[in-house]
Structure 1
Amino acid sequence: MDTSTTRPDGGVSRRRFLRTTAVAGGVVGLGGTAGVRAQTQQPETIELGGDTAGWVGRSPDSIEGDTNPTIELDAGTKYRITWENVDGKPHNIVISNRSGGTMKRTEVITERGATQSVTFTATPKTGSYVCEVHPTSMRGEFDLGEDAATSSEGSVSNEELYFPKGPSVRLETVVTEGPDSPLDFVVPPNSSDTYYIVDRSGGVYRYTERQGLQSEPFIDVSDRLAEIIGEMGLVGMAFHPDYQQNRKFYLRYSAPSREGTPEDYNHTEVLAEFTANDDGTSADPDSERTVMEIPHPQEIHNSGSMAFGPDDGYLYLGMGDGGGGSDNNLGHVEDWYEPLEGGNGQDVTENLLGSILRIDVDSRDGEKAYGIPEDNPLVGRDGLGEHYAWGLRNPWRIGFSNGDLYAGDVGQNSYEEINLIEKGNNYGWNIREGRHCFDPRAQEPSEVSTDGTCPTKTPDNVRGGEPLVDPIIEYPHAYRGRGVGASVIGGYVYTNDRVPALTDTYVFGDFRKNIDIEEPSGSLFAATKGRNGEWSTEEVTVANGDEGRIGNFVLAIGRDNDGELYALTTTDHDPGEGTGTVSRIVRDPSNAGTTGNATAGNETAGNATAGNATAGNATVGTDAAANGTANATADANATAGTAANDSTGAGSATGSAASGSNGSDGSNGSSDGASTTQGSGPGFGALAAVSGLVLGAARFLRRNDED
């Protein structure tokens, strides 16, 4: 989020960590169908004057001179509101959704003539703009016409949803006012209270439970990054299993093309080793040892996550197929499947793309800066020895749980999938998308391919006729006209009992709800493996989120060494525009393991009353630490429960959410009746413990803007 403030003397103040110069010019995407742009969409400008009597329109001409004008917006379009403090009184601006939750907020400024800007993308839920200090007199509405949201899934039956409503949780803010796009959450071995958060712009930030977020980056490699467009940037981190002794850790980043990368390729993906200082509070960028350099033809499908195997100590790396639609653009080699051109996902001899790699960082193989484990599946066979499993499009977040390796693989036209990664497996891309045959000319994959057949294995002369392995979980982008998800986010099996509703489930996410509407509407899901091996999945209700969901873009799921889970999110996936948040997933007290319609205090399911939420001091369950105590003014008390109130908790009040949209690979075609065996599998419960949003107190920022 751009919340820059310009003083009359020309000085500019910004939130710390905002690094627009390092990340200008791109849009993160998870490689699906929303369209990857080479440059950031330029926002349309709205100008206002602000004084205690109200907002006064300045531009466009349709609002000039109007007090608190109703501003017409188009869903999916980016806007920048710039306003001037006319009377020198304390003012700020908050962009709210139609339910009153905060989408964007600026700091309070008091200097006459100072200007402030806020950038946001309009969604069907965008509702109003308001000054928190004077919410009665300084309040205007947005008009999205036919785009305005008119329905809520709260009243939809499970039969109308692809994934039924499941357990209810809450989000507890751990970090905000920090990284713009937190892509990874990493914990050193044998550490219980220290976490490291990877920001796409090039910094890694250290957080401790006692001291909070370290003011300076643990390490900053932004000067080594190529221009951040598509899904490029600092994309992953892993600590060496012996980190407490050797202080070694590893970063994945997108660098300008290096020697060995073809001239027409976009960049080089780098895996590098670094060494931290003795107390682990910082690391020297000059300690870098390059481990791998992989030419990358496009700016998307970078994947990036990696993890050390808990049993073998080897490093596993997720590699996308190189980008471009259908795995057949620049840099995509030919494979065995004649009906479709290209296929890095199916090729294992020409490059290291479209696969899970496994290497030994503690040894050397000839001139390589790493070793290749002798039991890798292609060692001694036709193929590159680094490959561990293949047939993947864009494995967005991989992670071990109970010794098993799970990967979320982002789809193209219609289906998202979760795969259980095993040695030597071929997961089917670009022959199959999910459990369906892939046809790039069709909006929806069919059960037959372009030549009338749909292979279930490779030919006998291709690695002995290996099977194309189906995912353990799949889901369509849309079902019966409703969005299900756009880009899958891999997660972990939750093995603790602090959040009983999630115990023994695989918790994963999705970047946003509707692939056709670019709004921050990320989701969480919980999947359970049945006795017959089939997985059943439910959508997790976020009790303090926006309409039961996170309300921001989901970028990653993190896990600490105690096994607790975290959601990494952002409010805007354009570089430098978002506010990143890391939130712990905690128990919803109103859930209590019950099913049906939950009622908690004065909150009826789906409709929260403001009775117990005073504008002065709000304490709501586990969210008190995240929100603190709000000291409200008389103006705020006059409108408690309406515009001045934030939704308390880690989710909507802080603007948590995350990044990545589906890339330029076709269009979504799944619609009414999209079906897979997943939809009717066993174990789909009817848990519907849905609690309403708890209205809390407005937090008023009354400090002067600082340099």
Structure 2
Amino acid sequence: MLKRLILGSFAVAALALPAQAQVKVKLEPFVTGVNTPLAMVQVPGENRMFVIEQFGRVRVIENGELLPEPLIDIRNKLPKLYSDFDERGLLGIALHPDFANNGKFYLAHSTPVDFQLDLAKEFWWDHTNVVEEYQISSDDPNVADGSTVRKISSIDWPQFNHNGHWIGFGTDGMLYVSTGDGGYANDWGIGHNVTEGNGQDNSQLHGKILRVDVDNPSEGRPYGIPDGNLAAGNPDIAPEIWATGFRNPWRCSFDMADGRLFCGDVQQNSFEEVNIVEAGKNYGWRKMEANHCFDYVNPNDHPAECGDTSGFTPPILEYNNCTAKPDGCKGISVTGGFVYRGAHDPWKGKYIFGDWSKNFGAMDGQIFVASEGSDGKWTMEVAEVVGMDTVPYVLAFAQDADGEVYALTSITTGPVGSLDTIYKIVPAN
């Protein structure tokens, strides 16, 4: 998600952009009065949305109206969040592919942990991130039955940041989970692989895209391991891993048309990147920052040579991060978006995404539009947001069943109050 500048800086890169924006958009208010919205999903076949608030509630939007009572409130399960800035909390939501019949949905969130079996973690590690399964109450479709909770996954986290934990179901019916590298900066420190960083350590689950079968538990796990994951029987690779080499994949999405998985991956100080993620691929962190060699000891100095990179898959887009590359920079923390499949023909097939802000202290969110050329190469530009002098912090994006895209925003840097707005992104004309 975001990145706390006092910790080091965490950022990403892009292509040269035209001086005059060719895409002009309006942000049309959809609902307001939410707390730090980090994801929103539509109930299949219905005009209802579920939106998660970082501080621990799932809200219901019905026929465009935000209902006063939450679908579920899990604030008592979360660690105490910092009010000024935090990357923990309620981080992800996904509806089971057969939600219409079984009412199952999944939440990803942070939780405090009893580390009594590991004194090192008791004193030095920060929290645990979990994915849990719930069901809708049989009495009320806008209320969850908390007694149905089933824990799917549980991963201890050394630092408070780089949690990832977008979750979503692919066209194969499997649940995908993004995980950050464990936190701090430079993929270094307590809880990080000293030699290569967590992003390149396939024996553990940080810095990965995971893929599991929630419907068929096996081998004592609350999930099954589907065919096609990275390990393929290799005991040295964690069987849940589907793709590797990530720093903090913040907001992913499947293209409604072809099922491709797009992820924005927040990098260190100099660049930001967007990937199309494929099975078994390695996306380079911490050996690479976007398309550039990376030295975790000197993070702002990118070596000319970084050894064999033939096994790495480059991002489809990169742009300069304002922390260390202020000239022509476009932001400090990429926010992954969606491939537009709505009614506005000129946008169809374009990837709409953004950046949290161009600086930390004052909100200056960015909306980008990227296009794929006939050669498979992607280009991007900054969209001009008509009618707004300043765009709020861009936390996430969402997509409805018609393929329209929404921006989930906040006017504060931390999960406080209920002052935030979800906007529908529409053509300026």
TM-score, normalised by the number of residues in structure 1? 0.56
Shift of 1:579: 1.9
2: distance between equivalents of 1:581 and 1:365? 42
Distance 1:501 1:545 in 2: 22
Cα shift at 1:163: 7.5
Shift of 1:497: 3.0
Per-residue CA shift, 1:481-539, capped at 9, x if unaligned?
354111000011112233x442221110100023xx52111011011111111111111
2: distance between equivalents of 1:523 and 1:163?
15
1:546-595 CA-to-partner distances (Å, cap 9, x unmatched) read 1xxx5210000100111110000000012315621101111212xxxxxx
Change (3 A) 1:440 1:571: same
State the SS of the aligned residue for 2:383. Answer: strand
| Deviation, structure 1 residue 443 | 5.5
Which residue number corresponds to residue 473 of structure 1? 317
> In structure 1, what is the Cα distance between the partners aligned to 2:20 and 2:400?
28
Letter in 2 for 1:573: T
Match of 2:93 in 1: 237
Matched, 1:539 2:382: yes
Greater Cα offset, 374-383 or 168-177: 374-383
- 1:173 counterpart SS class: strand
- Give yes or no for the alignment of 1:455 onto 2:307: yes
Question: Which residue of 2 is the match for residue 487 of structure 1?
Answer: 333
Specify whether residues 426 and 34 from structure 1 end up closer, same or farther in structure 2 by C-alpha distance, changes over 3 A only: same
SS at 1:176 equivalent: strand
The alpha-carbon deviation at position 469 of structure 1 amounts to 1.2
- In terms of mean alpha carbon deviation, does 560-569 or 276-285 score higher? 276-285
1:353 Cα deviation after fit: 0.5
Q: What is the Cα deviation at residue 280 of structure 1? A: 2.0
1:441-467 CA distances to partner (integer Å, 9 max, x unpaired)? 44534242xxxx31343xxxxxxxx61
Correspondence 1:438 to 2:294: yes
Q: Using the alignment, how far apart are the partners of 2:328 and 2:17 within structure 1?
A: 8
Cα distance change, pair 576–326 in 1 and its aligned pair in 2 (3 A)? same
What is the CA deviation profile of residues 275-304 of structure 1, one whole-angstrom value per residue up to 9, with x for unaligned ones? Answer: 112352110222211111111110000112
- AA aligned opposite 1:183: L
| Contact 1:168 1:501 (8 Å CA) reproduced | no
| 2:176 aligned counterpart, secondary structure | strand
2:156 maps to 1:185? no
2:211 matches 1:368: no
Residue 332, structure 1, aligned to residue 187, structure 2? no
Counterpart position of 1:422? 278
1:142-181 equivalences in 2 (<5 Å): 165-177=21-33, 179-181=34-36
Q: Tell me the equivalent position of 1:257.
A: 113
Correspondence for 1:125: none
Q: Among 51, 56, 61, which residue is 1:207 paired with? A: 61
For the residues of structure 2 that align with 1:223 and 1:480, how far apart are their CA atoms? 41
Contact 1:205 1:213 in 2 (8 A): yes
Q: Which shows bigger deviation, 272-281 or 560-569? A: 272-281
Structure 1 residues 316 and 424: alpha-carbon distance in aligned structure 2, compared to 1, 3 A threshold: same
Q: Distance in 2 between matches of 1:299 and 1:573?
A: 15
1:388-407 mapped onto 2 (5 Å cutoff):
388-401=242-255, 402-407=258-263
Structure-2 change in CA distance of 1:163 and 1:555 (3 Å):
farther
1:292 matches 2:139: no
Give the aligned residue type for 1:30: L
CA distance in 1, matches of 2:45, 2:417: 35
TM-fit CA distance, 1:208: 1.3
CA displacement at 1:161 relative to structure 2 = 5.2
Match of 1:558 in 2: 398
Alignment deviations for residues 347-386 of structure 1 (CA, whole Å, 9 cap, x no partner): 011x211000000000112111111102212130130110
Which of 125, 128, 137 is the equivalent residue of 1:268? 128
Specify the code of the residue in structure 2 equivalent to 1:328.
W
For residues 257 and 359 of structure 1, what CA distance do their matches in structure 2 show? 23
Q: Which has the higher contact order (CA 8 A, sep 6+)?
A: 2
Provide the residue aligned with 2:12 in structure 1.
none
Partner of 2:11: none
3-state secondary structure, aligned to 1:396: strand
Once the two structures are superposed, what CA deviation does each residue of 1:664-691 show, in whole Å capped at 9, x if it has no partner? xxxxxxxxxxxxxxxxxxxxxxxxxxxx
> 2:211 touches 2:226 (CA, 8 Å); kept in 1?
yes
Whether the 8 Å contact between 1:165 and 1:540 is mirrored in structure 2 is yes
Instruction: Classify the secondary structure of the residue corresponding to 1:166.
Output: coil
Tell which deviates more after alignment, 478-487 or 565-574: 478-487
Q: Which has more radius of gyration?
A: 1
Pairing partner for 2:166 from 293, 305, 311:
305
Pair 1:562–1:380, CA change in 2 (3 A): same
Partner of 1:356: 209
In structure 2, stretches of 5+ residues that fail to align are 9-14
Q: Supply the distance in 1 between the matched residues of 2:103 and 2:29 (Cα, whole angstroms).
A: 29
Give the secondary-structure state (helix, strand or coil) at the position aligned to 1:288. strand
Counterpart contact for 1:202–1:220, Cα < 8 Å: yes
1:583 maps to 2:423: yes
Q: Which amino acid aligns with 1:492?
A: F
The 8 Å contact of residues 163 and 539 in structure 1, kept in 2 or not, is answered as no
Contact preservation (8 Å) 2:187, 2:296 = no
* Preserved contact between residue 164 and residue 248 of structure 2 (Cα < 8 Å): yes
Shift of 1:240: 0.3
Are the counterparts in 2 of residues 163 and 537 from structure 1 also a CA contact under 8 Å? no
- Aligned residue identity for 1:296: W
**Equivalent residue, structure 1, for 2:144:** 283
* Alignment-derived partner of residue 320 in structure 1: 180
Using the alignment, how far apart are the partners of 2:131 and 2:177 within structure 1?
A: 9
Q: In the TM superposition, what are the counterparts of 1:594-613 in structure 2 within 5 Å?
A: none
Is contact 1:258–1:268 with CA below 8 Å preserved after alignment?
Answer: no
Stretches of 4+ moved more than 6 A in 1? none
Distance in 2 between residues matched to 1:160 and 1:393, nearest whole Å: 24
Match of 2:2 in 1: 30
* Contact residue 286 and residue 296 of structure 2 kept, 8 A: no
Counterpart selection for 1:223 from 61, 76, 80 = 76
Q: What TM-score do you get using the length of structure 2 for normalisation?
A: 0.91
Relative distance call for 1:414 and 1:356 in structure 2 (3 A) is same
Query: 2:23 is paired with a residue of what secondary structure?
Result: strand
2-structure distance, mates of 1:509, 1:163: 18
What letter is aligned with 2:36?
A: S
Considering fraction of residues, name the structure with more strand.
2
Equivalent residue, structure 1, for 2:239: 385
Which SS does the other structure have where 1:245 is aligned?
Answer: helix
Question: Aligned-residue CA RMSD in angstroms?
Answer: 2.1
Please state whether the residue corresponding to 1:329 is helix, strand or coil.
coil
Structure 1: how far apart are the matches of 2:27 and 2:174? 33
Given that 1:413 and 1:445 are in contact with CA atoms closer than 8 Å, whether structure 2 keeps it comes out as no
Q: Secondary structure at the match of 2:61?
A: strand
**Corresponding position: 1:505 with 2:311:** no
CA contact (8 A) 1:220 1:285 kept: no
Provide the identity percentage. 38
Query: Is contact 1:277-1:283 (8 Å) kept?
Result: yes
Q: CA deviation at 1:186?
A: 1.2
| 1:326-351 CA-partner distances (Å, limit 9, x unpaired) | 1111101244x4xxxxx1100011x2
